[in-house]
């Protein structure tokens, strides 16, 4: 069966510090991978998605970046965090086929102080 | 790109009543419309989905309807229970890349 791992679960970082969140998927190959951000009491904002190694599509201009160094690994990074980067970050994957369910990681609650 | 709007943002009902959440989408190419439920502090999980070749789908107390002409779809929950309290998200996607866009979410509260 397929599983998705996302870590860390919680993170408190000072303004200006770097960020690295990691997500890995097991039990499938060539998944589509996604990073979403959920601000408090708000919806899921698509940040990045990837259809293959090294292929990243960015949806929102920001100081975040994403990388996919391996087929089942997706990393969200920042060089310098802003207060506005606080939120709940969710990694997700779907099969590389139309009209299929998205499976979410447990999420990372990031607080920038 | 696709834009999904969801209403209402909050919904409070009495236990046993029905709840309806509505979404509209902008891209007529979208052909897959899932609904996710997110309990407090947890990850969103799929509860029901509908594809563009059908107009309605039902699974016990939940149902989804789709109107492709008007580009809107709705979630219906009947005989609501306190455990239905959660945030519900609609989404729309199309194509092989599953570029899935979510609505802003509806916080449903079912009062016992």
Q: What is the CA radius of gyration of chain A?
A: 13
pLDDT in tens, A34-57: 999 987 666 888 899 999 999 998
User: Among A20, A39, A23, A6, which Cα is nearest to A80's?
Assistant: A20
From chain A, the residues in CB contact with B101 under 8 A are 46
pLDDT in tens, A59-108: 776 789 999 999 999 999 999 999 999 999 999 999 888 778 899 999 99
H helix count then E strand count, chain B: 0, 11
Nearest to A32 among B36, B97, B107 (CB): B97
From chain A, the residues in CB contact with B103 under 8 A are 43
* pLDDT of the residue at A43: 81
Q: Which residue has the higher pLDDT, A99 or B90?
A: B90
* Paired strand residues for A70: A73
* pLDDT of the residue at B101: 87
């Amino acid at each position: 069966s397929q599983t998705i791992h996302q870590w860390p679960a919680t993170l408190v970082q000072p303004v200006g510090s770097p960020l690295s969140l990691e997500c890995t998927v097991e039990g499938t190959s060539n998944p589509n991978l996604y990073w979403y951000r959920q601000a408090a009491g708000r919806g899921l904002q698509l940040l990045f998605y990837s259809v293959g190694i090294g292929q990243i599509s960015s949806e929102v201009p920001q100081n975040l970046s994403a990388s996919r160094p391996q087929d089942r690994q997706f990393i969200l990074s920042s060089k310098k965090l802003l207060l506005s980067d606080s939120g709940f970050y969710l990694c997700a994957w779907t099969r590389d086929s139309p009209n299929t369910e998205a499976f979410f990681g447990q999420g990372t609650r990031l607080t920038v102080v | 790109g696709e834009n999904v709007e969801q209403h209402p943002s909050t919904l409070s009902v009495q236990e046993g009543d029905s709840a309806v959440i509505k979404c509209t989408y902008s891209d007529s190419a979208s052909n897959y419309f899932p609904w996710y439920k997110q309990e407090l502090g947890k990850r969103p999980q799929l509860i029901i989905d509908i594809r563009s070749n059908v107009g309605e789908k039902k699974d016990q107390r939940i149902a989804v309807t789709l109107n492709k002409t008007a580009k809107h779809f709705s979630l219906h929950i009947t005989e609501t229970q306190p455990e239905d309290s959660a945030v519900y998200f609609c989404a729309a996607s199309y194509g092989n890349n599953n570029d899935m866009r979510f609505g802003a979410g509806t916080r449903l509260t079912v009062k016992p």
